[in-house]
């Protein structure tokens, strides 16, 4: 399990829930190891149409934005996985359908292009290119996480995400971990 600054996406939800592959962007701490990076972030010259996530966005708001994006992908022919919600973006879909973000087939690439205006933008505080104090704030964020009983450590390169410490049982429940992550993000990251 690895947490990736998704450029930070889905707040806390996105945060601790994800593990493993490379999903669409969820947020700073996003136990979604996927640094929501490369597979799906479309390059667009006009991001003004994309939904903008905020550090203080509620889990419900974040999930609604991701569900809309996933629905668009599905409606446009993207390959979908069944039997799970997308833990990377903190989205739980009772139907168990989420996009296979490792699929680069022509229909999936076309669907990502068609839905690029629905792909959420991560909070600007979590964007290293927009936050000149990002690395210092990331250090404060990691300190906050560990001081609140999360057994985690930063991954390389520093500021790109975090992962759970191997062989250590977490003291906090999953919901407590999400809350700590959310609170630490809010207290650690600020623009300007």
pLDDT, greater one: 53 or 96: 53
The pLDDT assigned to 2 comes to 36
Q: Is it the case that residue 42 has pLDDT exceeding 90?
A: no
With H, G, I as helix, E, B as strand and everything else as coil, classify residue 144. helix
Q: How confident is the model at residue 92 (pLDDT cuts 50, 70, 90)?
A: low
Q: Is it the case that residue 144 has pLDDT exceeding 80?
A: yes
Q: Is it the case that residue 150 has pLDDT exceeding 90?
A: yes
User: Domain range spanning residue 122?
Assistant: 1-192
- Token pair 């479309």 is at which residue? 42
30 Ramachandran zone, left/alpha/beta (phi>0; psi -120 to 50): beta
Q: Is it the case that residue 50 has pLDDT exceeding 80?
A: yes
Chain centroid, CA 107 distance in Å? 24
Instruction: Report the C-alpha gap between 92 and 47 in whole angstroms.
Output: 26
Number of structural domains in the chain: 1
Q: Is it the case that residue 107 has pLDDT exceeding 60?
A: yes
Span 165-187, average pLDDT: 93
Which tokens sit at 4? 């990736």
Span 116-132, average pLDDT: 94
Q: Is it the case that residue 21 has pLDDT exceeding 90?
A: no
Q: How confident is the model at residue 95 (pLDDT cuts 50, 70, 90)?
A: low
Which tokens sit at 11? 């707040």
Going by C-beta distance under 8 Å and a sequence separation of 6 or more, which residues neighbour residue 56?
186
DSSP string for residues in 8-54: EESHHHHHHH--SS--S--ESS-S----S-TTT----S-GGGSPBP-
The pLDDT assigned to 97 comes to 74
The pLDDT assigned to 82 comes to 79
Percent of the chain topping pLDDT 70? 69
Span 18-35, average pLDDT: 34
């Amino acid at each position: 399990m690895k947490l990736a600054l998704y450029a930070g996406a889905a707040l806390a939800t996105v945060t601790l829930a994800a593990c493993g592959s490379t999903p669409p962007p969820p947020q700073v701490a996003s136990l979604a190891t996927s640094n929501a990076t490369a597979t799906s972030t479309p390059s667009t010259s006009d991001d003004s149409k994309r939904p903008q996530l905020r550090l203080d966005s509620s889990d419900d708001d974040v999930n609604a934005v991701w569900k809309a994006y996933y629905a668009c992908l599905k409606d446009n022919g993207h390959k979908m996985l069944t039997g799970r919600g997308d833990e990377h973006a903190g989205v739980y879909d009772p139907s168990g359908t989420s996009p296979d973000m490792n699929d680069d087939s022509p229909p999936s690439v076309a669907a990502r292009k068609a839905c690029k205006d629905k792909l959420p933008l991560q909070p600007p505080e979590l964007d290293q290119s927009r936050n000149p104090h990002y690395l210092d704030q990331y250090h404060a964020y990691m300190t906050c996480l560990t001081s609140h009983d999360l057994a985690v450590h930063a991954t390389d390169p520093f500021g790109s995400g975090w992962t759970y410490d191997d062989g250590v049982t977490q003291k906090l429940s999953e919901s407590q971990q999400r809350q700590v992550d959310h609170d630490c993000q809010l207290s650690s990251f600020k623009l300007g």
